[in-house]
Amino acid sequence: MEKLKGELRALIAGVMPGRENALVFGEGPKSPKLMLIGEAPGEQESLQGRPFVGKAGKNLDHFLELAGLAREEIYISNVVKYRPTKTGKTGRISNRPPTREEIALFSPWLLREIEWVSPQMIATLGNVPLKALTDAGATIGQMHGRVIEANQANRPLFALYHPASLIYNRSLTDVYENDVLLLAKLLRA
């Protein structure tokens, strides 16, 4: 993995010098039952150098509790490994969704990371990792809550809504929770 990380640092240093020092890599055991893949690190993730801490960590805790899993037994990562930011009129820095170019830049490395981690199953959070790993123009609305076998990672992929999207759409909370329970059932089978 250190060699793989070095290759990504070199790639990012080439296109965005300086950014290679703020990469947030995935964490967790090799050959886990589940590899969870999010979008990109946020502020806390970038500050702490770990995925899914801060507010997103709370969402993750909720997921783990529902699924009956411990953080230590799964591998957690993101498609884009740095925090995408924008600067507002007042100079305030905030998160923005990764661009198509950023997703394309990081996706080949993600595939190699998945290969290295070798999880039994992948769960994607939201549209960004789903689109990075499937060819079809499918959206999370169509694909959530079921196993997608035909995907670029060559292993079963289960699509979930991104927990952050539930804040803005309360009706999705039930859908998300049912999907997580189904995923937990599949992992136990």
Binding site for ligand URA (CB under 6 A): 38-42, 45, 51-52, 56, 78, 125
| Spacing of C-alpha 172 from chain mean position | 19
Quick one: how many helices (H) and strands (E) in the chain? 7, 7
Cβ-based nearer residue to ligand URA, 27 or 177: 27
Give whichever of 149 and 168 is closer to ligand URA, judged by the CB atom: 168
In 21-149 the beta strands, taken as DSSP E runs, fall at 34-38, 75-78, 85-87, 93-95, 121-125, 147-148
Is residue 28 within 8 Å of residue 76, measured between CB atoms?
yes
Question: In whole angstroms, what is the distance from residue 22 CA to residue 171 CA?
Answer: 36
Q: How far is the CB of 79 from ligand URA (least distance, A)?
A: 8
Q: Identify which of residues 40 and 133 has a Cβ nearer to ligand URA in the complex.
A: 40
Helix, strand, coil shares, percent, the chain, to 5: 50, 15, 40
Per-residue DSSP letter, 171: T
Residue 140 CB, shortest distance to ligand URA, in Å, is: 13
If the CB atoms of residues 93 and 185 are measured against ligand URA, the closer one turns out to be: 93
CB of 137 to ligand URA, least distance (A): 21
Q: Which is nearer to ligand URA, 57 or 121 (CB)?
A: 57
Residue nearest to ligand URA according to CB distances in the complex: 38
Which of 33, 55 has the CB closer to ligand URA? 55
Q: Smallest gap, in angstroms, from Cβ of residue 117 to ligand URA?
A: 16
- Whether 77 and 32 have beta carbons less than 8 Å apart is answered as no
CB of 115 to ligand URA, least distance (A): 21
CA separation for the pair 130, 137 (Å, rounded):
10
At its nearest, how many Å lie between ligand URA and the CB of residue 106?
Answer: 13
